[in-house]
Amino acid sequence: MAQFCFFFLLLISVIFVPCAFSRSFSSSNPHSQSFDVTEFIKKTVQVLSPTSQTFQQEAIRSTPSNSSSISVSIYPRSALVKPRHKDYESLTLSRLERDSARVSSLTMKLTLSLTNFTHSDLKPVQTMLQPEDLQTPITSGASQGSGEYFTRLGFGQPAKEFYMVLDTGSDITWLQCEPCSDCYQQSDPVFNPSGSSTYSRVSCDDAHCSALEVSACGTNACLYQVSYGDGSFTVGEFATETVSFGNSGSFSKVAIGCGHDNEGLFVGAAGLIALGGGTLSLPSQIKALSFSYCFVDRDSASSSTLDFNSARPGDSVIAPLLRNSRRSTFFYVGLTGISVGGQMLSIPASVFQVDGSGNGGIIVDSGTAVTRLQTTAYNALRDSFVKFTQNLPSAGQFALFDTCYDLSSMKKVTVPTVAFHFTGDKTLSLHPKNYLIPVDSSGKFCLAFAPTEGSLSIIGNIQQQGTRVSYDLANNLVGFSPDKC
Non-local (6+) Cβ contacts of 362 within 8 A are 332, 333, 335, 352, 456, 457, 458, 459
Catalytically annotated residue among 230, 261, 307, 365: 365
Under 8 Å between Cβ of 234 and 262: yes
Whether the CA torsion 37, 457, 296, 100 is positive or negative: it is: negative
Catalytically annotated residue among 167, 171, 230, 440: 167
Dist CA 151 CA 160 (whole Å)? 14
448 φ/ψ angles, rounded to the nearest 5 degrees: -85, 55
Among residues 394, 371, 393, the alpha carbon closest in space to that of 451 is found at 371
Is residue 167 part of the annotated active site? The answer reads yes
Dist CA 40 CA 53 (whole Å)? 17
Dist CA 125 CA 147 (whole Å)? 28
Dist CA 466 CA 353 (whole Å)? 26
Dist CA 361 CA 348 (whole Å)? 12
- For residue 169, give the 3-state DSSP assignment: coil
Count of CB atoms within 10 A of residue 448's CB? 22
DSSP alpha helices (H): ranges in 327-398? 375-388
- For residue 98, give the 3-state DSSP assignment: helix
Number of H helices, E strands in the chain: 9, 29
SS (H, E, C) 14-45: HHHHHHHHHHHHHHCCCCEEEEEHHHHHHHHH
479 φ/ψ angles, rounded to the nearest 5 degrees: -120, 145
Is residue 365 part of the annotated active site? The answer reads yes
Under 8 Å between Cβ of 148 and 77: yes
Among residues 388, 387, 384, 391, the alpha carbon closest in space to that of 406 is found at 391
Under 8 Å between Cβ of 320 and 352: no
Catalytic residues: 167, 365
